[in-house]
Amino acid sequence: MRHPRRHLPTLLLSLCMAAGSWSGSSAAQSAHAPYYPGTILPNRQTQAIMDKQLVTFYKDWKAVYLSGDCGSGRYFVKVNADHKPVGGGAAPNTITVSEAHAYGMLLAVLMADYDDEAQKIFDGMVRYFQDHPAASDPGLMAWNQIEGCGDSTDPFRGDVSATDGDLDIAYALLLADQKWGSQGTIDYRSEANTVMAAIMKHEVHPRTQHLMLGDWAGTDGDAELEYTTRSSDFMQSHLYSFFAMTGDKRWQAVRDKTYSIISDFTQRYSAKSALVPDFISHLDTSLTPARPELVEGQYDGGYSWNAARYPWRIGLDYLMYGDPRALYTLTTFNRWARATTHDEPGNFNSGYRIDGSTIEEAPNEPAFVAALGVSAMISPDNQLWLNNIWDNLQRRSIRDHDYYGNTLKLLGMVVMSGHWERPQPASLKKTANVPVNPSSGPAAPRPVASLPAASQLMLARGFMFKKLLGRRGVS
């Protein structure tokens, strides 16, 4: 969806959590997720205050966007619940998209220690996911549902997939297995294995190993779309987790390919800023920013509403696994962002051309600002910048923004307050404070669903159209 231009714990629990975590320290340790050594949290507020702010905003977000309107025991994120326009190529009367559903699943499991209803909500979201499979594979989610709870139809093709939503769904299922186990009503681990297998089969290019836009990309013989990728899908921490949990080295190959795309692009086009565009094309020859209107709109080749999520995604890979490639590219990006805004995050514009000039849209959008905070966490040099970002977000009312901005703000707050988590292979669960070495992950701790052999990988077929409406993600 392109952005149009335009019950909970007591304070005592929060204080207990704060007592077991660092507050105002350059070592970002929390009661939940051990972040990589040398990373930071905001330190202008105590941990207890940040936890209280997180819980308050989560409660507000849940009250607005979480819906059970599509059947008994079903939950989804209702993107039009705030009565603001829903963009990004979604059909009229859209109620949700797979990206939003995946965000809801992530938030349910990540906020489980604060919400007694978390597993009930998560299970309801799994059922909704199962109710809306993509036409290509039941392991992928149909990207767009409308009022009446059905998938959108032509020309919106609601029954095809969007890669970012599927990646987040798989990751959330792995976290659920870790949080609650898989011996209950839903076998989270088996579901995760099914989703990972479907992603590898339909959303990873069989020759170049890049993440495709969805199961539909290139299905009509359009090589330009087939060899285009979306920067907001660059979820290297997810990819490493998939490798660590399955032992399948193809996930490492996809991760390495993603970093290679970032390196090649920034060296060629944005060495001083490390900006990347919403979409990068011509991966089969010599990569370029996507041309206008290739997938979504005139800013497909700019740092716009898709790429806004990029610093969050890459930042997570450093926080979780300490990959030096993430540190390298985000160090350049952070330096540019801070200089451009003079350390005032409210000055960050909602879109830039790759040369660093601004796109004429409003600054100070939480979808952009929240991601800057995760990126800032990689180094103590960014402490003032990070504190300013956290404080900026606390001044933003949920009423003033739409689903996209409010949800990315909440996800960013989860990370910045120290509560993001990663799935741990069984052999590492007893030593959860030891970061996983990104160059040598463990083998699968248990049998997993069979992933397709490399020789059997193929593009999904049967969709005769030039492009599916992209998104700040088709997502």
H-helix or E-strand spanning residue 313 = helix 310-321
Q: For residue 241, which of 105, 112, 421 has the smallest C-alpha distance?
A: 421
69 is catalytic: no
User: What is the rounded CA–CA span in Å between residue 248 and residue 252?
Assistant: 8
147 is catalytic: no
Active-site hit among 99, 159, 248, 323:
99
Distances 309 to 97, 306, 390 between C-alpha atoms, Å: 17, 6, 16
Query: Which residues, other chains included, contact 285 with Cβ-Cβ below 8 Å and sequence gap of 6+?
Result: 227
User: What is the rounded CA–CA span in Å between residue 419 and residue 110?
Assistant: 7
SS3 (DSSP) at 146? strand
CA atoms within a 13 Å half-sphere pointing along the CA-CB vector of 180: 24
User: What is the rounded CA–CA span in Å between residue 389 and residue 320?
Assistant: 21
Structure tokens, 402: 């739409």
- Spatial contact of 327 and 274, defined as CB atoms under 8 Å apart: no
Structure tokens, 258: 């993603």
Structure tokens, 32: 């939940």
Active-site hit among 51, 123, 137, 164:
164
H-helix or E-strand spanning residue 96 = strand 94-97
Helical residues (DSSP H) of 29-117, grouped into ranges? 47-65, 98-110
User: What is the rounded CA–CA span in Å between residue 172 and residue 193?
Assistant: 12
| Cβ count near 462 (within 10 Å) | 11
Query: Which residues, other chains included, contact 426 with Cβ-Cβ below 8 Å and sequence gap of 6+?
Result: 445, 446
Q: For residue 103, which of 169, 178, 192 has the smallest C-alpha distance?
A: 169
Residues catalogued as catalytic:
99, 164
